[in-house]
Amino acid sequence: MFKRTKIVATVGPSSWNPSKLKALMLAGADVFRINFSHGERARHAETMATIRAVEENLGRPVAILADLQGPRVRLGRLPGPGIVLKRGDNIQLFAGSDYKTGGPIPVTHARFAGDVHPGARVLIADGEIEARVESIKNGVVGAQVVRGGILKSNKGINLPDCNISIATLTAKDRADLAFAAAAGVDAIAISFVGSAADVRLAKKLLIKAKSDAIVIAKIERATAVANIDGILEAADGVMIARGDLAVEVGYENVPVLQKEIIQKATALARPTIVATQMLDSMTDHPRPTRAEASDVANAIFDHADAVMLSGETAVGEFPVESVRVMTKIIHRVESYFCDRGFNHSEVAGSIAAESAIAAAAVDTAGRLDAKCIVLFTTSGRTARLVSRERPAIPILGFAESERAMRRLSFYWGVAPRCLKTASTMTEHFTDGERALLAAGDVRKGDFVVFLAGLSKVPGATNNLRVHRIGSRLE
């Protein structure tokens, strides 16, 4: 069955060997995520080389997404078993790396005391532990525990009521971005984005590194939600990172925000990835919970372009089974839509000619009961615009380069195909028909809708043609 919603699988110790990567691709993985919050660059380089070797062996494109760590504020080193905190306890925190018995608790942010204020919440370990700031004196922050737990080394800290004076792209992130760009990754995910300026900076750094990788903005801060319109305009796509987002804005708000962000992003033809704990129980068990299956299904009902697996495929015991389960859920929900029709995205205001042609192609294909929509692309822009319309039939994206084909792995409903660029429009369509027949995508007598433009400049698609397979092309 044709799978429209894409799957992003995180690679780690459970999945970075060639046989597992191959199995993940065959199970339905479209994008492999490399998490730069963990591991050394040498390990990442080896993993990416293995992915490319498996890709070549299977003859199927797969994209690589480099996910940068970002400015994560963490606890420093604490005693082995941790420090037990109870509600009402008074604690002290300071900017440092090591804990001394009886002293304040270290936080790995040099300007921590300057960024917080009385009344601000300090959320630790994904919000499991909460304290409120009561005093700030000589660089030491006094706080009272609201919700207790065990403090352990390196646990993350969220400060949802404060403006954190750390650049979104840290020195480590910049170095990792340059490394990933040189390795030829297809996309960069920017963690803890706060505004469109963060995205624009990442794009400038990629240009400097001579990379055309797309930039995915991770929405996981309250400030990102407040600035979502600008971020969507600047980014090539967004990831709804629901873990930190829930800590920042409250778990009860995340389902609504997920729907709103996907709607806005789709209207702008920006791909969306829904992430965090989608099949979390499959890290240790071969089957998901009913709630997890519904969570994945809900993201598909929301028309997300992709759903993501994190620990399930990186460190879990059942990485391949996790992808298979996700694929099974996708097929079932999409079959529901195929019976009732997908909802296309409403685009407000006037639209560019290329967008109008994409919408017309989908409308025409529906009226003719066409077998598929076939487009020829160099940048992926036309694929994004047709994908936005959410057609019920497959979108087959022909591209000349492996780089361009991999980019199509992020777009809902688009199946990448390889085809060299022709010199005339008729040759374009003739070569495309031949490739469709050879692959078994169509049969003689089927209607298809072709979209193409001869110029290699992005946004130059200007030709729509209805064709019955087997009839003469002129």
324 and 402, same structural domain? no
Residue 26: give its domain's CATH number: 3.20.20.60
Residues 233 and 264 sit within 8 Å (Cβ to Cβ):
no
DSSP reduced 3-state for 160: coil
- Write out residues in the chain with pLDDT < 70, as ranges: 339-351, 454-460, 474
End-to-end CA distance of the chain: 33
Residues 380 and 298: beta-carbon distance below 8 Å: no
Q: Provide the 10 A C-beta neighbour count for residue 45.
A: 15
In this structure, what CATH number is given to the domain that contains residue 87? 2.40.33.10
CATH assignment at residue 449: 3.40.1380.20
In a domain, 105, yes or no: yes
Q: What is the pLDDT at residue 428?
A: 81
Domain extent, residue 47, equals 6-71+168-338
- 445 with 332, same domain: the answer is no
- Identify any residues that bridge with 149 across adjacent strands, giving them in sequence order: 85
Q: Which of 61, 4, 2 has its CA nearest to residue 32?
A: 61
Query: Are 316 and 222 in the same domain?
Result: yes
Q: Residue 116 is which amino acid?
A: V
Q: Are residues 63 and 122 in the same domain?
A: no
Residues 51 and 149 occupy one common structural domain: no
Q: What are the CA-CA distances from residue 427 to residues 336, 401, 464 (Å)?
A: 38, 18, 14
pLDDT at 462: 73
- Residue 81: the pLDDT is 87
105 and 217 part of one domain: no
Using the 3D structure, point to which of 285, 311, 338 is the last residue of a domain: 338
- Cα angle 403-406-410, degrees, rounded to a multiple of 5: 135
Domains identified in the chain, total number: 3
Query: Does 20 share its domain with 84?
Result: no
DSSP code at position 408: G
Check whether residue 21 and residue 136 sit in a common domain.
Answer: no
Residue 473 lies in a domain: no
Give domain status of residue 439, yes or no: yes
Let me know whether 252 and 315 are in one domain: yes
Residue 437 included in any domain: yes
- Whether 346 is in a domain gets the answer no
Q: Residue 249 falls within a domain, yes or no?
A: yes
Q: What is the pLDDT of residue 86?
A: 96
Handedness of CA 189, 225, 306, 158 (dihedral sign): positive
14-62 pLDDT, tens digit per residue, is: 999 999 999 999 999 999 999 999 899 999 999 999 999 999 999 999 9
Which pTM value belongs to this model? 0.92
Residues 232, 298 share a domain: yes
- Residues in Cβ contact with 202 at an 8 Å cutoff, skipping those fewer than 6 apart: 169, 177, 188, 190, 215
Instruction: Give the residue from 114, 131, 158 where a domain finishes.
Output: 158
In a shared domain, residues 36 and 59: yes
Same domain, 400 and 285: no
28 found inside a domain: yes
Active site residues: 33, 74, 218, 276
Q: Of 305, 338, 371, which residue constitutes the final position of a domain?
A: 338
> What is the structure's pLDDT at 429?
86
Backbone angles phi, psi at 423, to 5 degrees: -90, -20
